[in-house]
Structure 1
């Protein structure tokens, strides 16, 4: 256990001094492996075998599909559609941002993609219409993590594959928390701005005119809105596995971007392909080293020792879940959502299994908690990415971020932790889980 803790401290230190995450985990994994006396010639083939599994092929395909749809001009169409629905109330533009991030998450499965695609459009637009710049930045950062909860979620794919769980059940486990958190953020945004006299509101129009605008914008966004329905419909109808559904998404996204939305050219298709390959390569390097480290941990019985250590503190599973939530929050603060999902699976999943906690329930806890960590200071990778888009200093958007997190995201973590049916209802209903 001491060697494992030392390896994790080295990894954290390397990340904090801005060593690339893949190299940090590689160094930590190698140090732990050699220090524990394990045979690296046995562990490396295990890493290759796990990383080359068919199920994991869904990862590069979903990344590619999300980048294709983002490049193809989907963001503006989604924004226009949601704006036609809710844009004419005070604070409505903020609600448009939240809902669009959720919809974009259902297409890209990535928080960073949601910030890049939605934040670059909506932060300047909200500021022009009287929103405080710090509030706009915080809202985009907090809403971006909805992409972790609305399937297809790339971190949930990684967590499921690493933990040997059903990808479909893990997808379903975070839908209800994701929808609830979407509406909570919309309500908080409107409440925070209700007394702000600077907020501009679009003038009211007759019902028929509003309905026509919704219909027209919905028609223009139709192919974007159909993509998550096609993906999830294929998975839950049994037509396709998640990997096959990811391939369908790529085949669907290319003609939509090139021929229908015409936001993508053959040249940009090539650049998107290179970006997808680069992103996949960096993620796979992290996963490879984590798979090696996970097998070494199992050989050293680290999960068993951790479970015994937690049980010595308390035998109440909810007390232990609270402690695990704190650790997950710290992980989410330091590393990205994908690395955090792997660490949660290899470190904590054996512990919760030993305690009799449903692993699909725990998948939802991981998804919601890592989202909280990704926007929680001091590290907060998604928060700083949103700040990079708005070009504001941290002090300008820290306070509104903490308000959103403390009143919205943190209560959702507690609800998911203590009310298992929030995450298990849909897997039981649709999959007979």
Structure 2
């Protein structure tokens, strides 16, 4: 690895230490190296930035984000909570069960981990606290359930990975269903064990939203439009009716119609706030894409992916060991770097290493996604954990006691998914990948 590459990563590291936003740090480090090195024209930055945006699949990102914001503001999350609550009240740790299952369904609408925690956690964490749950546990289980967002389709992380790796986004979406279920089951098991130990029993207090006990059929009737959303979105994609990008537009139109005309919880005065929030989130992601694309271009010119591939190949040619090393590396990356940035930076570096080993790019995408999802609940970054802690009004470090066993369970799921590729590839293969 040459002096230019060391300079590139050195400048990037210094800028991150100075608390410069990662997108700006990526662009600034790349531009400075290009100016200092002098062999690459600066116009490459403009060309790469614009060409990286010229991607039809990327249009899905702002639309899925907008759909998630509309559904969150329009009452879908609350109705999902009512529905799940109607048949889980008698279970040990029922509020944790409600949180996990509701997050799973809402993740299949929003595709975002942070959005899932903010929407579902804002409803359930306060009620968990009133029901006697420890604030640290309420924040931890909500944050961990929110980590389902990047795994369960439609996933924003899968869209970015598909664009970066030239992999079918539809196949990536469907590959996340079984691993997502495994993660949910692992969370349910840990929730039962912790709640049994801590004495968080059946839900005896009034329901979360209603003042009277709501029946299953009434809850189902009120939540039917919310439950139909993931079926409509994913059914349209896998039925060949729409592409993932078109499905994102359908999600926006559907959510507007339901929340305005059926639930009647969104008015004209709400549109400005919803669109501003979605534009802020979408803009941040797309700036990441632009800056990271140029950063990756500079790395390619400096042959960094080839260097890494040769280095790892020199250590071992065993695919199992290489995947273990990559897992360890990504777990560390997820602790310090935002998920979108990590995907955009490291996919171009790691993919050339695993493809010659015969590892399916869809399977590898799931490995990356799971690793970085764990980063959402691991400090010092742990964005989901920060959101959950803020809602629960508890110190960040008070969650560590509960996050540790949850992290251990999800780590087991990660290893299973890593070394049993059929878990990820079964559904794509079944549907004729």
Mapped partners of 1:176, 1:257: distance in 2: 30
Across the two proteins, how many residue pairs are aligned to each other?
Answer: 426
Q: Secondary structure of 1:221's match?
A: helix
Give 1:218 deviation, angstroms: 1.4
Give 1:5 deviation, angstroms: 5.0
Q: Which residue of 1 aligns with 2:160?
A: 158
* Alpha carbons 1:294, 1:346 under 8 Å: kept: yes
Q: Which residue of 2 aligns with 1:320?
A: 322
Q: Which residue of 1 aligns with 2:210?
A: none
Q: Which residue of 2 aligns with 1:207?
A: none
Unaligned runs of 5+ in 2: 207-212
Aligned match for 1:89, one of 88, 91, 94: 91
Does residue 298 in structure 1 map to residue 300 in structure 2?
Answer: yes
Give 1:359 deviation, angstroms: 0.6
Unaligned runs of 5+ in 1: 205-210
Q: Which residue of 2 aligns with 1:371?
A: 373
Q: Which residue of 2 aligns with 1:343?
A: 345
Q: Secondary structure of 1:371's match?
A: helix
* Alpha carbons 1:137, 1:387 under 8 Å: kept: yes
> What value does the CA root-mean-square deviation take over the aligned residues?
2.0
Q: Secondary structure of 1:146's match?
A: coil
Give 1:357 deviation, angstroms: 1.2
Give 1:203 deviation, angstroms: 8.4
Aligned match for 1:216, one of 218, 222, 226: 218
Provide Cα deviations, 1:229-254, integer angstroms capped at 9, x if missing partner: 11111111111111111111111111
Mapped partners of 1:343, 1:242: distance in 2: 23
Q: 1:280 to 1:42 in 2, by over 3 A?
A: same
Mapped partners of 1:305, 1:55: distance in 2: 30
Provide Cα deviations, 1:402-425, integer angstroms capped at 9, x if missing partner: 11101x111111111111011110
* Alpha carbons 1:376, 1:383 under 8 Å: kept: yes
Q: Which residue of 2 aligns with 1:24?
A: 25
Mapped partners of 1:322, 1:247: distance in 2: 38
Mapping of residues 27-426 of structure 1, within 5 Å: 27-35=28-36, 37-197=39-199, 199=201, 201-202=203-204, 213-406=215-408, 408-426=409-427
Q: Secondary structure of 1:217's match?
A: helix
Mapped partners of 1:129, 1:333: distance in 2: 32
Q: Secondary structure of 1:28's match?
A: helix
Between 341-350 and 90-99, the greater mean CA deviation after superposition: 341-350
Provide Cα deviations, 1:181-240, integer angstroms capped at 9, x if missing partner: 101101110111113346453389xxxxxx982221111111111111111111111111
TM-score, normalised to structure 1's length? 0.93
Q: Secondary structure of 2:55's match?
A: coil
Mapped partners of 1:401, 1:10: distance in 2: 34
Give 1:367 deviation, angstroms: 1.0
Mapped partners of 1:327, 1:9: distance in 2: 19
Mapped partners of 2:200, 2:145: distance in 1: 23
